[in-house]
Amino acid sequence: MTIPDMTIYVLNGPNLNLLGTREPEIYGAASLDDIRSAVSDAARGRGASVEFRQSNHEGVLIDWVQEAAGKAAGLIVNPGAYTHTSIALHDALKTVKIPKIELHLSNIHAREAFRRHSYISPAVDAVICGLGAQGYLTALDALIRLIDKKPFP
Residue 108 forms part of a structural domain? yes
How many domains is the chain built from? 1
- CA dihedral (94, 148, 143, 47) positive or negative: negative
Residue 137 forms part of a structural domain? yes
User: Terminal CA-to-CA distance of the chain, rounded, Å?
Assistant: 18
Its pTM stands at 0.90
pLDDT (tens digit per residue) in 64-94: 999 999 999 999 999 999 999 999 999 999 9
Q: How much of the chain exceeds pLDDT 70, in percent?
A: 92
Which structural domain, as residue segments, surrounds residue 21? 6-148
Query: Is there a catalytic annotation at residue 136?
Result: no
The pLDDT of 133-147, averaged and rounded, is 97
Indicate which residue of 9, 27, 119, 136 is catalytic: 27
When comparing pLDDT for 53 and 153, which is higher?
53
Indicate which residue of 9, 90, 104, 119 is catalytic: 104
Query: Is there a catalytic annotation at residue 82?
Result: no
Residue 87 forms part of a structural domain? yes
pLDDT (tens digit per residue) in 25-49: 776 678 999 999 999 999 999 999 9
How far apart are the C-alpha atoms of 114 and 136, rounded to whole Å?
23
Residue 13 forms part of a structural domain? yes
Which domain CATH number covers 54?
3.40.50.9100
pLDDT at residue 138 above 70? yes
